[in-house]
Amino acid sequence: MTKFFKEKRKIDPYTEAVARVFNRLNKKVTPSEVAEYLNIHPNTAKRRILKLRRQGYIKCEKEGKKLFCSKRKKFKIKN
């Protein structure tokens, strides 16, 4: 993997905080629940969640109108 792509996979501190929520809760959660847990705006939480999803750290599925996300088993997110 080139240096450019390694830099793209790095996680900033705010996105890492969102990732830690998935590690701590260890269940399917909505962006609203993550936002409430971290005391941030739901849109901010959703943006960070989608970034983690694109990078392959979490998986998301829609149930009705709600988006539920959970940590992928193969990734370990440091506490």
| Each residue's pLDDT tens digit, 29-70 | 999 999 999 999 999 999 999 999 998 889 999 999 999 999
Q: Is 44 exposed, middle or buried (0-12, 13-18, 19+ CB in 10 A)?
A: middle
φ and ψ of 58, to 5 deg = -130, 165
Split into its structural domains, the chain has a count of: 1
> Is the pLDDT at 5 greater than 70, yes or no?
no
Domain containing 53: what range?
10-71
The pTM for the full model equals: 0.79
- The domain that holds 55 is classified in CATH as 1.10.10.10
The answer as to whether 47 is a domain residue is yes
Band of the pLDDT at 8, cuts 50, 70, 90? low
φ and ψ of 56, to 5 deg = 90, 10
Q: How far lies 63's CA from each of 35, 36, 40, 55, in Å?
A: 19, 20, 23, 22
